[in-house]
Amino acid sequence: MVSMIPREVCNHTEMPDPDSTAPEPQLGSYVAWRSRDFRFYQAARVLGTVGSEAQSVGVAWQVYQITHSALALGYTGLALFFPGLLFVLPAGHVADRYDRRRIILVCYALQTVATVMLLWLALHGAGSIWWVYAVLFVIGTGRAFSGPAASAMVPTLVPKEHFVNAVTWGATTWQISNAVGPMIGGLLFTLALGSDAGGRFARLAGAPLVYCFTIACLLGFVALVSMLKPHPGADVGKKAFTLATVTAGLHYVRHTRLLLGSISLDLFAVLFGGASALLPIFAHDVLHEGPQGLGLLRAMPSLGALAVSLLLLLYPLHRHAGRTMLLCVGAFGAATVVFGLSHNLILSCVALIVTGATDMVSVVVRSSILQLATPPEMRGRVSAVNWLFLGASNEFGEYESGLTAHWWGAVRAVVAGGVASMAVTGLWSVFFPALRHADQLTAESLTAVEREFSEIEPVD
């Protein structure tokens, strides 16, 4: 569960095949970096994530400047989520059938063009805020197809025995990027460009400068990914495009209690407890900070998640994984309540750090369950279902936050959402006992829990 940031880390996390029971050899904490493609891909992800996070700050502040409406901020998340709802099943099938590297390249090229459109709208005036939403819909479409493809491609970048190390480092670099990106976006938004001779670059001040930075990052991403040479994945099959194959991932998730419980817990906890869409309101109206304050707030959850990811790199979670996940989701809700009630910048930052730290534990547990409980030939389709749940909790959650803030006010909306997240945690511990009993994050342990509690059925 990652509340304040787009959570690609969940979709880029891969674990060893469920059938692989041999322990990973101890080859060092940096062994994944020996793989050329892993290094290139991580560099690409850093560029893409930093650029996208900077862009999110620019879009949020620009929309709030234009509308001064919490509901308008919520619509930005809805515009990004809706394509995932439309294309989730085809995207998973495409990821399991076609060259995943090419899918990613096409999707990020599409997002680059969309960012150029945002730049044009910022320079010439949007005219209507709905043009911004239309461009965000295009970006969301690119993410809907690139997410499952990227998730399923990662195992082809490193040897199988290096998967776990690659997972941890991937999460760490991603959290660094999510911490740096919003800060850069906030700084660029406030950078004065009118002091040059004649003020030639004054028009680029604000959102246009942020979008220029994002375009450069996306172009770097495309260049690096184009140089990858992943080995062919054994899990890629030329399956016919039928209703049965397209819906197989949804069918599998629905009948796997442990998988359904972990994903849906994240969905509802963040759907109610997430407040990323309302951060411009808290920065401007509650804490009385500007775009730099917004960038700082956006970065805090990533800092907390980064600290925990480094801790997990040294001290992996060995026992009581499910119980730990439930406790962390509850702590996430409590920290959200503290953030909503705070009028102090330092306290607000601390609360957001706690949400990010507890989030990261949940991410590790849920992502491990996702990969260990999924057959290799279905990773694309199951990842697409997971991507839809993530989109619902993040982007649709932003719309929900904006709508409730429109009704009740930002502070009440965030506090009520945090309380709802804690309530969801208690209910899920009852409805999905498999989560409470999940112990070690190994194929053997999770399989045993599945056999006891799941309703899993074979799928093609």
At the topology level, CATH places domain 8-232+241-453 in Growth Hormone; Chain: A; (1.20.1250)
pLDDT digits (tens, 9 = 90+) for 124-181: 876 678 888 999 999 989 988 888 888 777 777 887 667 667 776 777 787 788 778 8
Which amino acid makes up residue 226? Answer: S
Q: What is the pLDDT of residue 25?
A: 41
Q: Look at phi and psi of residue 125 and say left if phi exceeds 0, alpha if psi is from -120 to 50, else beta.
A: left
* Cα 434–chain centre separation: 25
Gyration radius of the chain's alpha carbons: 21
Strand boundaries in 32-91, DSSP class E? none
Q: What is the pLDDT of residue 50?
A: 93
Q: What is the pLDDT of residue 216?
A: 96
- 176, two tokens: 């660094």
Q: What is the pLDDT of residue 10?
A: 42
Q: What is the pLDDT of residue 169?
A: 79
By the 8 A CB rule, do 265 and 424 touch? yes
Q: What is the pLDDT of residue 289?
A: 84
Residues of the chain with pLDDT under 70: 1-29, 126-127, 160-161, 163-164, 168, 192-203, 231-249, 371-380, 383-384, 387-388, 390-399, 442-443, 454-460
CA-CA distance, 364 to 368, in Å (whole number)?
6
Chain mean pLDDT for the chain: 78
Q: What is the pLDDT of residue 244?
A: 59
CA atoms within 13 A on the CB side of 17: 15
Q: How far is the CA of 154 from the CAs of 39, 48, 150, 219, in angstroms?
A: 12, 16, 6, 20
By the 8 A CB rule, do 398 and 73 touch? yes
Q: What are the backbone angles phi and psi of residue 117, rounded to the nearest 5°?
A: -65, -40
Strand boundaries in 264-377, DSSP class E? none
Q: What is the pLDDT of residue 212?
A: 93
Question: Please, is 108 exposed, middle or buried when counting C-beta atoms within 10 Å of its C-beta (0-12, 13-18, 19+)?
Answer: buried
CA-CA distance, 398 to 412, in Å (whole number)?
15
Q: What is the pLDDT of residue 218?
A: 95
